[in-house]
């Protein structure tokens, strides 16, 4: 059976119900810990499901920041310093990663026990046990008129990857790297590969590669 929600019904529903529902609709989301540091030297670590690929040339990522939330520390640190790290989350520390979203007073690294790492003099801290770590610098920000969400674009300056998951063609084996994905607000999953598919052409059926 199909359940149909019309616009008025969505808007009239309980806000908790609506947040759960709307956050699930787009499907599985990427999951990354963003590491930053204030100009006063206080490190910050925040869990994000709204990080996405923007382009490969130059290599850029986009991040959405909701207005007026606790994660504003992350945005403020990036705007002040110009730097941040992105770190894939694994099943080994996804619970600690989730815990970073509590309203901590000091650094989330110390509070949750996630170990930080400083690499090659980069200003922002990395997550030591993450298999995919990116050093990024701020490029631009734009505010979305619809709900004052801030879209931040970052340049990928440097990449650290656990070699076991790096294939010869440059792609990553996220199953092997144990990268975690999230649905909705609080449900975590690992991926289970179906297949890789051949380049799509009209005159040729799709094949597993």
Q: Name residues whose C-beta falls within 8 Å of residue 151's C-beta, 6 or more positions apart in sequence.
A: 62, 63, 64, 65, 141, 142, 143, 144
Q: Which of 126, 124, 102, 104 is nearest to 115 (CA)?
A: 126
- Binding mask of the shown chain, residues 12 to 41, with x at each position contacting a copy of itself by CB under 8 A: -xxxxxxxxxxxxxxxxxxxx---------
The DSSP H or E segment spanning 105 is none
The minimum distance between CB 150 and a copy of itself, in angstroms, equals 11
Q: Given the complex with a copy of itself, which of 39 and 75 has the nearer CB atom?
A: 75
Q: Which of 192, 157, 201 is nearest to 173 (CA)?
A: 192
Q: Which of 112, 116, 97, 92 is nearest to 31 (CA)?
A: 97
Q: Are 59 and 150 in contact (CB under 8 A)?
A: no
> What residues between 114 and 133 interact with a copy of itself by CB under 8 A?
132
- How many residues touch a copy of itself under the rule CB under 8 A: the total is 114
The 10 Å Cβ neighbour count of residue 173 is 14
Please report where in the chains the tokens 């289970």 appear, as a residue. 192
Query: Which residue in 46, 78, 86, 127 binds a copy of itself (CB under 8 A)?
Result: 86
Query: Which residue in 40, 56, 68, 121 binds a copy of itself (CB under 8 A)?
Result: 56
> What residues between 65 and 84 interact with a copy of itself by CB under 8 A?
66
Q: Which stretch binds a copy of itself (CB under 8 A): 38-46, 72-80, 143-151?
A: 143-151
- Binding mask of the shown chain, residues 159 to 198, with x at each position contacting a copy of itself by CB under 8 A: xxxxx--xx-xxxx-xx---xxx-xxxxxxxxxxxxxxxx
Q: Which stretch binds a copy of itself (CB under 8 A): 38-46, 74-82, 148-156?
A: 148-156
Q: Given the complex with a copy of itself, which of 39 and 186 has the nearer CB atom?
A: 186
């Amino acid at each position: 059976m199909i359940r149909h929600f019309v616009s008025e019904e969505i808007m009239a529903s309980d806000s908790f119900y609506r947040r759960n529902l709307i956050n699930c609709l787009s499907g599985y989301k990427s999951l990354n810990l963003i590491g930053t540091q204030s100009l006063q030297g206080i490190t910050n670590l925040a869990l994000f499901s709204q990080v996405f690929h923007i382009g490969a040339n130059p290599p850029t990522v986009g991040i959405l920041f909701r207005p007026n939330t606790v994660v504003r520390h992350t945005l403020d640190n990036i705007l002040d310093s110009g730097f941040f790290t992105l770190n894939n989350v694994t099943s080994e520390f996804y619970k600690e990663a989730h815990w970073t979203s509590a309203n901590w007073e000091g650094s989330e690294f110390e509070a949750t026990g996630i170990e930080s790492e400083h690499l090659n003099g980069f200003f922002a801290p990395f997550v030591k046990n993450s298999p995919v770590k990116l050093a990024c610098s701020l490029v631009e920000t734009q505010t979305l008129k619809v709900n004052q969400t801030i879209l931040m674009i970052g340049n990928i300056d440097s990449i650290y990857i656990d070699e076991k998951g790096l294939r010869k063609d440059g792609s990553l084996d996220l199953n092997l790297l144990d990268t975690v994905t999230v649905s909705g607000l609080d449900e975590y999953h690992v991926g289970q590969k179906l297949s890789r598919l051949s380049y799509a052409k009209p005159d040729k059926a799709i094949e597993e590669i």
